[in-house]
Amino acid sequence: KISMNDWVQGYVVGKTQWNERLFSLNIDAPVASFRAGQFTKVALDLGDERVGRPYSFVNAPDERPLEIYFNEVPEGPLTPRLSQLEKGDTLWVAEQARGVFTMEQVPDHRDLWLLATGTGLGVYLSILRTEAPWRRFERIILVHGVRNAEELSYSAVLNDLRDRQGSGFQYTPVLSREQRPHTLHGRIPGLVEQGTLERHVGTQISPEHSHLMLCGNSGMIKEMRRILDARGLRRHRRDQPGHYTTEQYH
């Protein structure tokens, strides 16, 4: 739990509404330095209670303003109010970022697979905006699973990465509820289990060549762990190097 002394006041300096429920907030706040892949807590004072939730930074550590990406949960206590904030409004941000879902914790391999569902995409944008992954991996494959095409966001950032990195970067959107050109249809675990994702990308997931990072809903992470374990890939731990790293806030 964060004490009252650990919060700093921030100001909304920009907002993007991607669709009815998806938002990004740009925030100016005097936070401590952080590593790409770490998360912060953002809070509002609601009545006599400070209500905070964890959010990954979307911006790289040397970029300002800060940016978070979130899905409005209509019945939630915080996100409906966050999504109503406008430029100049205040909010609270944890001064110190947390988390070990960072490049420093990932062992070297040839291929880096970044699997995300929903707003889990955000953390990878922070990582990919730094030099470390491009120095260390020959190929980076970003897979983003959402329900509908309207939930695919940050296309300008992704196109810029593709332009700069060329064949070293592959972005694969996955839609579970509709079919569109240039996207895969289904859910990420099913597409991995059937081999569809690897055929599409042209690279196999293997203990010899792959490290995977998993971020998103707990169902996807649980299923992917089962599939990867069955293929002989182990969860990465500091004292026992493995083949996949997971991020879950809950």
Query: Would you say 25 and 13 are in contact if contact means Cβ atoms under 8 Å apart?
Result: no
Residue-level pLDDT at 19: 96
Whole-number Å distance between alpha carbons of 12 and 190: 39
Residue-level pLDDT at 250: 44
Residue-level pLDDT at 13: 98
- pTM: predicted TM-score of the whole model, two decimal places: 0.95
Whole-number Å distance between alpha carbons of 72 and 89: 18
Two tokens, residue 44? 């509002």
User: Which residue, 96, 83, 89, is CA-closest to 38?
Assistant: 96
Which residues of the chain have a pLDDT value below 70? 1-5, 248-250
CA angle in degrees (0–180, nearest 5) for 205-210-216: 80
Residue-level pLDDT at 244: 96
Predicted confidence (pLDDT) per residue in 196-228, tens digit: 999 999 999 999 999 999 999 999 999 999 999
